[in-house]
Amino acid sequence: MEEDIQKPQIDQAVSDSHEVRTGAELLCSLLMQAGVDTIFGYPGGAVLPIYDALYSVPIRHILTRHEQGAIHAAQGFSRVTGRPGIVLATSGPGATNLVTGIADAFMDSTPLVIFTGQVTAESIGRDAFQEADIIGITMPVTKHNFQVRDIKDLPQIVADAFHLATTGRPGPVLIDLPKNITSGPASDHVLPESHIRGYKLPGAPKKEEVDALIAAINQAKKPLLYIGGGIISSGASELVRQFASRSQIPVVSTLLGLGAFPVRDPLFAGMLGMHGTYAANRAVTECDVLIALGVRFDDRVTGKLQRFSPHSIKIHVDIDAAEIGKNVAVHIPIVADVGLTLKEMLLRDVHLDTRGWHEQILLWNEEWPLQYHASDEDLKPQQVVELIAKHTHENAIVTTEVGQHQMWAALFYPFSRPRQFVTSGGLGTMGFGFPAALGAQVAKPDATVVCIAGDASFQMNIQELQTVVENGLPVKIAIINNRYLGMVRQWQQFFYESRYAESKIGSPDFVKVAQAYGALGLRATTFAQAEAALTEAFAYQGPVIIDFVVKEEENVFPMVPPGKGTDEMTLEWEE
């Protein structure tokens, strides 16, 4: 596998040299032993002992302007590195402000370790100032959570939290820290090995499972690889490329799987689902063997279940047994690491003649390519995304907010490597993309990081402009400004007789906003101005906002209307 998930690596030198007197100092020592070098957070009364301890240790703390910004930044950090993102917030509202990000990370299997302050143990349950039951609140959206009641338990809890967050299906793990624990005395300061009773990780598939998988493939006339974010999480992108190349089986991807397979590879049929390409959705509908790897058959992918890939033998490989058969019944279920499964698949002989099937998919792509109507009068969002790809040599890390611009970025930016595209998939969180770009830039200071945002989404965490400027992060923010909640408006146009109830939304002057925060602000209303703005933006060393004023009522196509099957795509809306 090309990229291993980072697990806690005990730094013995740190454990031997770091003097520990309080619970907070112990926590810092344990974090350093676990290899943590960056924390995203926001201080408050219940975590002041931790902040006091952080003052003396070599861990970089990024002070965001809102806890939601901190956790999305940690998600961005994690998504581009594969390492767990670390978050620190105080009790009560500090902790509850994290909940949206925790739920987002849970849905998208992003490894996070989250530390929340809590009132003292003796005050818990007494409605103390800034008390919230963050354990109860986050139980449905964390992989696991802990509350430390005895300082002697802290080393083992920290070790177990990192192990849980980064192994198996990754996810967020929360540790709640009563203030008396972090301010009280501590001495033991060695990070132990994780030991969790009953926690067993699926490894390689059984031989007979791979035999059945390969036998089904060898009998196929129209096989299709359906890949998702699990390919990226498991570091299996190169393996899936090798298998597709060797077997000549075409590939379709989910939104979160984009980048796991090069968009420009002739075997790639595109993203599937509600806004998937014509070729991808037709291929899923007509294939006879569907090999689903690291996916969860999300409803935005399947559309109407009865019409989803109706003629295929379905094979599902996933590390999470709970995903098998949850949404779609499968014929060959395999609970295993997808990377190890691909390794086994590469050892077997595959005898296929997919030339006719491959030619059919290429023909669909030629007949129904991604397209839009360019105009001399209006700047089109698709043009903006294509220009960004051109000016970044298709090599940028791209984050997005959620909405129409997210789909245009997914469809028109040619991603070629894993961890290049960072977006909110399962929860669909507006306000995610800009702080995620912040975190990605912290993790990859030499990379070109672009946040493609909508004018409405960007305003949900606009305050993080101060964080970006203060930390000298050269993030480029491209606002696709159509003066609407664009996807809401599109649905209102299609399904609510164009009654645009509360989807028209105003915005500040983004150029002046950029200037007020100390960033460079630019605006473009024509194609020529867009070219010039991007040239200036990427020559500038600091953060830039570009306000692309685009055609208001541009729509995203293709589209599978809600309740329809993947074979019922709309390529252009007819009133």
Catalytic member of 179, 314, 343, 380: 179
3-class DSSP string for 11-22: CHHHHHHCCCCE
Clarify whether 179 is annotated catalytic.
yes
Sheet order of strands, 144-147 included? 60-63, 38-42, 85-89, 112-118, 172-178, 144-147
Q: What angle do CA 374, 402, 4 make, to 5 degrees?
A: 110
CA distances 315 to 247, 290, 291, Å, are 16, 6, 5
In angstroms, the CA 562 to CA 304 distance is 8
In Å, the largest CA–CA distance within the chain is 72
Catalytic member of 487, 490, 548, 569: 487
Catalytic member of 1, 6, 130, 304: 130
Clarify whether 130 is annotated catalytic.
yes
Q: Which residues of 119-139 are buried (b: 16+ CB within 10 A; e: fewer)?
A: bbbeebeeeeebbbebbebbe
Beta bridge partners of 454: 480
Clarify whether 487 is annotated catalytic.
yes
Residue ranges in 330-380 assigned as alpha helix (H): 338-347, 355-367
Q: Which residues of 171-190 are buried (b: 16+ CB within 10 A; e: fewer)?
A: bbbbbbbbbbbbbbebeebe
Catalytic member of 67, 131, 209, 464: 67
Helix (H, G, I), strand (E, B) or coil at 185: strand
Q: How many CA atoms within 13 Å lie on the side-chain side of 215? A: 8
CA distances 11 to 3, 18, 31, 194, Å, are 21, 11, 10, 15
Contact assessment for residue 410 and residue 457, using Cβ atoms and an 8 Å cutoff: no
Q: Which residues are catalytic?
A: 67, 129-130, 179, 487
